[in-house]
Amino acid sequence: LTSIGVLEEWRGQGVGAHVVERLVTTARDKGYDTVYALTSAEEYLHQFGFDRIEPASLPETLQTRLTTKQERLDPDAVPLRIDSERFHMPGYLREAFKGAHPEPDEEPEPEEGPEDFGIDPDEATYKYDTGD
């Protein structure tokens, strides 16, 4: 698991937890015994049962990916792993997800009109070719 994100208006409502749960469950159902994560959100994943491991214990492909992630995106990324059968969803996150809804934007986007595109709606004429 790498670079999992939740849109800001959905954060704090258990949405990310359910994404992680679905990914781990899918991996388990496909026969993977171990799921790895490369992230700086170590504390967040601990609540599900992920444990920090040494980079040298990662499969070689993931060692390379961790190095790339640290160099390009997230210098604080560390490797974590979980036995896919040990995943645990905290009850408070499951409950939070039941009532999840996007937080309203502070200000609604203004409607765009012809003037926003340099068109004078009183003077413009429109011709559409419908191909008939």
Domains of the chain plus CATH, in order, are: 8-97 (3.40.630.30)
pLDDT (tens, 9 = 90+) of the chain, 132 residues, equals: 998 889 999 899 999 999 999 999 999 999 999 999 999 999 999 999 999 999 999 999 999 999 999 999 999 999 999 999 999 999 989 888 888 888 776 666 778 877 777 777 777 665 555 565
Q: Quick check: 35 and 1 in contact, CB under 8 A?
A: yes
pLDDT at residue number 71: 97
**Sheet strand arrangement including 51-52:** 34-39, 78-83, 51-52
Q: How far apart are CA 111 and CA 127, in angstroms?
A: 24
C-beta neighbour count of 103 within 10 angstroms: 12
> Six-digit token pair at 26?
């899918």
